[in-house]
Copies of this chain bind each other. A is one copy, B any other.
Amino acid sequence: MKKKGELVSYRPDIKVIDCTVRDGGLVNNFYFTDKFVKDLYFANLKAGIDYMEFGYKASKEQFDVSKYGKWKFCNDDDIRAIVGDNDTDLKISVMADVGRTDFRNDIDDKANSPIDMIRVATYINTIPSALEIVEYCNKKGYETTVNIMAVSKSNDMDLDDALELIGRSCVDEIYIVDSYGSLYPEQMRRLAEKYLDCAEKYGKKIGVHAHNNQQLAFANTIETLTMGVSYLDSTVCSLGRGAGNCPTELLLGFLKNPKYDITPILGFIENHIVKLKEEGLIWGYDIPYLLTGRLNQHPRDAIQFTAEHRTDYQEFYHYLYDRDI
Structural contact, B250 and A184, CB atoms closer than 8 A: no
A219 within 8 A of B: yes
A262 to B262, CA, bound (A): 37
Q: Find out whether the CB atom of B249 lies under 8 angstroms from the CB atom of A184.
A: no
Choice from B185, B274, B318 contacting A222 with Cβ under 8 Å:
B185
State A212–B250 Cα separation when bound (angstroms): 12
Our pick among B186, B217, B318 for the contact of A7 (Cβ within 8 Å) is B186
Assembly CA distance A313 to B223 (angstroms): 27
Q: How far is the CA of A253 from the CA of B250 in the complex (A)?
A: 24
Given contacts A266-B314, A269-B313, contact A215 B219 (CB under 8 A): yes
Q: Does A267 contact B (CB under 8 A)?
A: yes
Say whether A218 faces chain B, with CB atoms less than 8 Å apart. yes
With A and B bound together, what is the CA distance between A212 and B107 in angstroms?
Answer: 43
* Pair A290/B250 contact, Cβ less than 8 Å: yes
Against B, the Cβ 8 Å flags (1 = close, 0 = not) of A254-266 are 1000000011001
Nearest opposing residue in chain B for A310, CB measure: B270
Please tell me if the beta carbons of B214 and A218 are within 8 angstroms of each other in the complex: yes
A184 vs chain B, min Cβ distance (A): 7
Q: A222-B184, A287-B266 are in contact. Are A215 and B214 (CB under 8 A)?
A: no
Q: Which 8 A-B pairs have the closest CB atoms?
A: A219-B219, A266-B313, A253-B294, A266-B314, A274-B311, A270-B311, A267-B314, A215-B218
What chain B residues lie within 8 Å of A184 (beta carbons)? 7, 222, 254
- Whole-angstrom CA separation of A267 from B287 in the bound complex: 12
Knowing A215-B218, A219-B216, A313-B269 touch, does A249 contact B186 (C-beta < 8 A)? Answer: no
Tell me how far the C-beta of A30 lies from the nearest C-beta in chain B, rounded to whole angstroms.
Answer: 25
Contacting pair B249 A287 (CB below 8 A): yes
* A85 at the B interface (CB under 8 A): no
User: For window 180-224 of chain A, which residues contact chain B by CB distance below 8 Å?
Assistant: 184-187, 212, 214-220, 222-223
What is the CB-to-nearest-CB distance from A294 to chain B, in angstroms, rounded to a whole number? 4
Question: In the bound complex, what is the Cα–Cα distance between A109 and B66 (angstroms)?
Answer: 74
Q: Are A270 and B313 in contact (CB under 8 A)?
A: yes
A32 an interface residue at 8 Å Cβ cutoff? no
User: Does A312 reach chain B (CB closer than 8 Å)?
Assistant: yes
Residue-wise interface mask of A (235-251) relative to B, using a CB-CB cutoff of 8 A (1 in contact, 0 not): 00100000000010110
Q: Looking at the complex, which one of B7, B263, B285 makes contact with A317 (CB distance below 8 Å)?
A: B263
Chain B residues positioned under 8 Å from A247 (CB to CB): 215
Q: Which residues of B contact A28 (CB under 8 A)?
A: none
- Which residues, 269 to 301 on A, are CB-close (under 8 Å) to B? 269-270, 274, 285, 287, 290, 294
Q: In the bound complex, how far is the Cα of B265 from the Cα of A314, in angstroms? A: 9
Point out the residues of chain B lying under 8 angstroms from A312, CB to CB.
Answer: 270
Chain B minimum-CB-distance residue to A278: B311
Taking CB atoms, residues of chain B closer than 8 Å to A249 are 287, 290
Q: Is the CB of B253 within 8 A of A214?
A: yes
